[in-house]
Structure 1
């Protein structure tokens, strides 16, 4: 088995397509298929279910994917350590970033960082918050940005943002004239909610709705805050979004209301505790902690 085989396998798993993976890795499709087939024969198990449209992982494939992420993470860590030993004035950082957070805070910060450290390359991958945490733990990313709470036995946690979350309702909604709404008042509402892969899904559901004594009625799930707010403006349901997003909702069709108990949306940069952090990675952490988001 060779590392290259695992790189190609991970790319197929990422795209769920041999064709797209071949394009991404700049190899021919037959060569990629041959590499995957050789890996399957050496392991003695089928890793990918091939169809006309997608290439899905088998149960064995998901196990190999998890270990392959760890292996590639160790290779990246080794490269970072060696680069730092030679005091190179360059670097590369692999960062996991949830779409919600990325669109709100990071374009300006990353532009400023690039201007300050043009030789450091930022490789950004967008995942839901829960998957970012898992990927940092498995070594796929050197750094991640995630919604707290985070297990500080496993991760180094560097808080960067904390703000309230608000309830968004249609302007003629029965609660629209209220300045404050308790979670118990939302039992009969239909919600525009986050996908399960987003940390906010579990945090809001488990710590607020379930504690209030009911399961939320989820009408639609989305990963895009602008779509969620537009659905509320069309009177399709209500939603809960961070203050920063509410500040970007410019429509008279929506009323923004305080929630009780208050939900705090706290995000942090995280690294795995037992992983070596490159000079480039530490430079980015120091930079983002000093820059107001």
Structure 2
């Protein structure tokens, strides 16, 4: 069994079509079929069921895919580590972050990193914490910046800083210009909140419950940008980091009483190999707070 057999198998499993997979791999369809047949003969069972022009994984194929993905990840990690030795001239880095971090705090860090390491391609994904942990475990991102603690045992959290949530309002909101608001009073005003897959949603609801009231959620969205745009032109508010609000024109932070404090942490996968690019970016993020 060779590495190309594993990569060909994964491409076919993803595409569910040998012709499409062959196009992606830049080989002919007969070549791909022959390589898959060799792999099946070596393993001793069929990995695919052929259904017309499509293919689907057998039960054995489903099981083998999990091991195949791990094998490819380990080989790719080893290759990246070797390429990273002694220099940061080339490479790639994928990180996951929560929305408000990418909006306000991350841009100057990225600018600094790009100036220092122009040959490193950086991909930033805005992810809910649960999805971030999943991608970390599967090796799809190098590390994440999220609210701790993590739910998964394989994910390690290192605290970066603590921040307070504030009510964020535009000029049309009745509380615009006020310094503070109690949770009981806030429950009377409409809010735009992130959807439930975001950990901050549960934190906010728990804070209201602790004060014996419930939030008046008028809208739900899964992205910070449309939330902020709607707050600017309406009488609705939202709850976001007070750090973020200070950088945004046309919006006013109203501090909450009692305060809602959350911990921002650097998430990494336990026992994962760490590339030089990931170490450099993580060090830069840590030094910024």
Structure-1-length-normalised TM-score? 0.69
- Residue 270 of structure 2: aligned partner: 273
Task: Answer with 238-247 or 179-188: which moved more.
Answer: 179-188
Q: What's 2:126 paired with? A: 126
Larger Rg: 2
- Equivalence for 1:57: none
Q: Deviation string for 1:155-192 (max 9, x for gaps)?
A: 33333343222112454655457532222323343220
Please say if 1:219 is aligned against 2:224: no
Other-structure match for 2:281: 284
| Contact 1:100 1:224 (8 Å CA) reproduced | no
CA contact (8 A) 1:229 1:249 kept: no
1:3 is the counterpart of 2:7: yes
Query: Gaps (5+ residues) in structure 1?
Result: 50-60
Q: What per-residue deviation string (whole Å, max 9, x for no partner) do you get for residues 78-126 of structure 1?
A: 3234445x64654332222333322222222122112222343323333
By how many angstroms is 1:232 displaced? 2.6
- 1:210 partner SS: helix
Give, in whole Å, the separation in 2 of the partners of 1:180 and 1:67. Answer: 54
Deviation at 1:131, TM superposition (A): 1.2
- 2:162 aligned partner: 162
C-alpha distance in 2 between matches for 1:286 and 1:261: 33
Q: Please list, as runs of the form range in 1=range in 2, the aligned pairs for 1:213-252 lying within 5 A after superposition.
A: 213-251=212-250
- How do 1:1-293 residues align onto structure 2 when only pairs under 5 Å count? 2-7=6-11, 42-44=47-49, 72-83=72-83, 87=86, 89=88, 90-150=90-150, 154-169=154-169, 171=171, 173-176=173-176, 178-205=178-205, 207-251=206-250, 255-290=252-287, 292=288
- Separation of aligned partners in 1, 2:211 and 2:155: 30
- CA–CA distance in structure 2, aligned partners of residues 66 and 171 of structure 1: 53
1:183-242 residue CA offsets vs partner (Å, 9 max, x unmatched) = 23233432201123333223323x313333444332222244343233233335221111
Query: What is the TM-score of this pair, normalised by structure 2?
Result: 0.70
| C-alpha contact (below 8 Å) 2:146/2:264 kept by paired residues | yes
Q: Distance in 1 between matches of 2:99 and 2:230?
A: 19
Aligned to 1:55: none
Distance 1:97 1:177 in 2: 30
Kept in 1, the 8 Å contact 2:173–2:235? The answer is: no
Distance 1:235 1:288, change over 3 A: closer
Deviations 1:240-272, CA, capped at 9 Å, x for gaps: 111232123322xx5431102212243232211
Q: Which runs of 5+ in 2 are unaligned?
A: 41-45, 55-60
Distance (Å, rounded) in 2 between the aligned partners of 1:100 and 1:65 = 35
Q: Tell me, in whole angstroms, the C-alpha distance in 1 between the residues paired with 2:151 and 2:271.
A: 14
